[in-house]
């Protein structure tokens, strides 16, 4: 396919942009960080969302180079932000299979002079679905660098709970499919509450994803989520626009 060959060229020519979506503390509403979300600035088609090229990048193996570029970019951007503000970077299962991932992350931190505590890596259950001893070793190597690890899209996979037993994540990100139904579904509210309690018991913070309304914000807060993300707080935006959020008065 044409897009496939263009993708390799696009990576070589750095046709990508990293957008950032704000993360907030649920109790204080304070900005705590940003999730890095990549876009492809395609010369003909314009700005393409990850869904249109990440799967292809994974199939063709281009994700290794692209993922490394995103990591470097995100760390370099975050190094310019006010000190407590963190950056969260998504990792594909394919990136996770690379032996050199911990070294690559260490190199990105060193190149940007970013404190490891300001970097969080988000992995989905699909990373752990095909897990072996290497997966857990890699996770521990990453944790040993001082970065934190979040389980992304929690609740959408098959056996999420066993993964929480296999590895001490720092954070659980509750999939937005639960959050979006909270107003009308008592089952969704009960699930979010139970996951927040589980996280708390296991010493993990819990982020509610996809918070779009004030009512959803109130419900995730009341049900114990420690952090929030979603359009109610902000859409993904280019690095150059983030300064408006840093200048919030106390």
Interface with ligand G by CB under 6 A: which residues? Answer: 21, 36-38, 49-51, 54, 70, 90-92, 122, 152-153, 176, 209-212, 230-231, 236
Member of 152, 178, 196, 216 binding Mn ion (CB under 5 A): 152
236 binds, among ligand G, Mn ion, Na ion, none (CB under 5 to 8 A by kind): ligand G
Burial of 171 (0-12, 13-18, 19+ CB in 10 A): buried
Nearest residue to 174 (alpha-carbon basis) of 218, 212, 136, 227? 227
Pairing of strands 86-91, 46-48: unpaired
- Which long-range contacts (C-beta less than 8 Å, at least 24 apart) are formed by 208-211? 208/26, 208/174, 208/179, 209/153, 209/173, 209/174, 209/175, 209/176, 209/179, 210/175, 210/176, 210/177, 210/179, 210/180, 211/179
153 lies in the binding site for Na ion (CB under 5 A): yes
Provide, rounded to whole angstroms, the least separation between the CB of residue 249 and ligand G.
25
To ligand G, the closest distance from the beta carbon of 65 in angstroms equals 12
Please choose, from the candidates 109, 101, 173, 83, the residue with its C-alpha nearest in 3D space to the C-alpha of residue 140: 101
Residue nearer to ligand G on the CB measure, 231 or 246: 231
The crossing angle, in degrees rounded to 10, of helices 2-12 and 63-78 is 40
Question: What is the Cα 189 distance to its own chain's centre?
Answer: 23
Q: How far is the CB of 17 from ligand G (least distance, A)?
A: 11
d(CA 250, CA 248): 7
Listed ranges 56-64, 134-142, 151-159, 213-221: which one lies at the site for Mn ion (CB under 5 A): 151-159
Q: Which is nearer to Na ion, 6 or 153 (CB)?
A: 153
Q: Which of residues 156-215 bind Na ion (CB under 5 A)?
A: 209
Out of 148, 152, 172, 199, the only residue in the binding site for Na ion (CB under 5 A) is: 152
Binding site partner of 92, from ligand G, Mn ion, Na ion, none, Cβ cut-off 5-8 A by kind: ligand G
Residue whose token pair is 């699909």: 126
Please tell me whether residue 125 binds Na ion under the rule CB under 5 A. Answer: no
Question: Cβ 87 to ligand G, closest distance in Å?
Answer: 11
Q: Which lies closer to ligand G via its Cβ, residue 51 or residue 201?
A: 51
Residues that bind Na ion (CB under 5 A): 152-153, 209
């Amino acid at each position: 396919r044409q897009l496939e060959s263009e993708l390799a060229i696009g990576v070589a020519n750095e046709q990508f942009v990293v957008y950032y979506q704000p993360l907030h503390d649920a109790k204080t509403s304070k900005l705590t960080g940003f999730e890095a979300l990549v876009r492809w600035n395609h010369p003909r088609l314009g700005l393409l969302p990850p869904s249109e090229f990440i799967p292809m990048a994974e199939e063709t193996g281009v994700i290794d180079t692209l993922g490394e570029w995103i990591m470097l970019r995100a760390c370099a951007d975050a190094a310019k932000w006010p000190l407590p503000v963190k950056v969260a970077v998504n990792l594909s299962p394919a990136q996770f299979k690379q032996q050199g991932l911990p070294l690559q992350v260490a190199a990105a931190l060193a190149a940007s002079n970013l404190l490891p505590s300001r970097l969080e890596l988000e992995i989905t259950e699909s990373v752990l679905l095909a897990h072996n001893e290497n997966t857990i070793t890699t996770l521990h190597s990453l944790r040993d660098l001082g970065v934190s690890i979040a389980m992304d899209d929690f609740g959408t996979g098959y056996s999420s709970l066993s993964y929480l037993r296999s590895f001490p994540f720092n954070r659980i990100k509750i999939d937005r499919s639960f959050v979006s139904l909270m107003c009308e579904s008592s089952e969704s509210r009960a699930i979010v509450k139970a996951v927040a309690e589980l996280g708390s018991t296991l010493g993990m913070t819990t982020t509610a994803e996809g918070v779009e309304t004030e009512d959803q914000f109130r419900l995730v807060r009341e049900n114990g989520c420690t952090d929030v993300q979603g359009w109610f707080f902000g859409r993904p935006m280019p690095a150059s626009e983030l300064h408006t959020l840093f200048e919030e008065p106390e």
